[in-house]
């Protein structure tokens, strides 16, 4: 479990690869008085990630490393995180798999949000798989990251109903709206707030 220390907020990094709507919701949350975290750093493996714009808008330091050489990028990233005294990492649509070495360095300090009701549909194409299986419900999950993909301890989940004419797009939209709510809630939960 992560421990909140004293009055200062927990220095947090958010990793993204794309739109960054969860990043935006986390930044907004971090600015509320009840938030235990402050977002000090945004990282992306993708220089074209739209979400990087939030770094400029909210004056948060950012960095891009392309992960073509994963070992090199992760080592560089680890040294940046150390320099910035980052205590926890929130993965928010970060589409690269972190190595065991990296995860070990932040053991129990990395959270991820995933668009399915884990343990169902680890990995990609979660909406399609839920629809193909004619599931009645799907949803999203915030979980700790461990060495197995999408398998760490679950912090919080939210179910959404799959309706009759549901498409991948409509389901993704519905789930994303819930993601924006449960990521902040999960952070409050892990700090017992
Ligand atoms: C979100 O739906 C998130 O759950 C998913 O990518 C989307 C990112 O949206 N993450 C994964 O699939 C991780 N395996 P965002 O960039 O707008 O936050």
The confidence band for 193, taking pLDDT boundaries of 50, 70 and 90, is: confident
Q: Report d(CA 106, CA 69) in Å as an integer.
A: 20
Domain boundaries, the chain: 8-107, 114-193
Report pLDDT for 6. 53
Nearest to 49 by CA among 18, 25, 24, 22: 18
Cα 6 to ligand 1 centroid, rounded to whole Å: 32
Residue 136, pLDDT > 60, answer yes
Q: Which residues contact 8 (CB under 8 A, 6 or more apart)?
A: none
Residue recorded with tokens 């301890």? 153
Looking from the CA of residue 112, the nearest atom of ligand 1 is 13
Q: Report d(CA 66, CA 170) in Å as an integer.
A: 31
What is the crossing angle of helices 168-190 and 21-30, to 10°?
A: 30
Residue recorded with tokens 């980052």? 86
Q: Is 139 in the pocket of ligand 1 (CB under 6 A)?
A: no
Write out the CATH class of domain 8-107: alpha beta
List the residue whose alpha carbon is closest to atom 8 of ligand 1: 93
Looking from the CA of residue 17, the nearest atom of ligand 1 is 16
Nearest to 183 by CA among 52, 91, 116: 91
CATH, domain 114-193, list 3.40.50.170, 1.10.357.10, 2.60.40.350, 3.30.450.60: 3.40.50.170
**Number of other CB atoms surrounding residue 57 within 10 Å:** 9
Domains 8-107 and 114-193 share a fold: yes
Residue 145, pLDDT > 60, answer yes
What is the value of pTM for the model shown?
A: 0.96
Question: Taking residues 156-162, what's their average pLDDT?
Answer: 98
Q: Is 51 in the pocket of ligand 1 (CB under 6 A)?
A: yes
Residue 5, pLDDT > 60, answer no
């Amino acid at each position: 479990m992560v421990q909140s220390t004293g009055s200062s907020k927990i220095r947090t990094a958010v990793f993204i690869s794309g739109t960054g709507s969860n990043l935006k919701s986390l930044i907004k949350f971090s600015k509320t008085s009840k938030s235990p975290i402050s977002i000090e750093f945004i990282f992306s493996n993708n220089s074209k990630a739209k979400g990087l714009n939030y770094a400029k808008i909210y004056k948060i330091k950012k960095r891009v490393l392309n992960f073509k050489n994963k070992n090199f990028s992760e080592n560089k990233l680890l040294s940046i995180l150390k320099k910035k005294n980052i205590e926890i990492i929130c993965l928010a649509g970060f589409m690269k798999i972190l190595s065991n070495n990296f995860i070990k360095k932040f053991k129990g300090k990395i959270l991820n949000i995933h668009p399915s009701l884990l343990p169902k549909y680890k990995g990609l194409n979660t909406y399609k798989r839920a629809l193909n299986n004619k599931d009645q419900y799907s949803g999203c999950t915030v979980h700790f990251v461990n060495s197995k993909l999408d398998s760490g301890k679950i912090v919080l989940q939210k179910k959404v109903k799959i309706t009759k004419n549901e498409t991948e797009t409509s389901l993704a939209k519905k789930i994303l709206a819930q993601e924006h709510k449960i990521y902040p809630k999960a952070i409050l939960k892990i700090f017992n707030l």
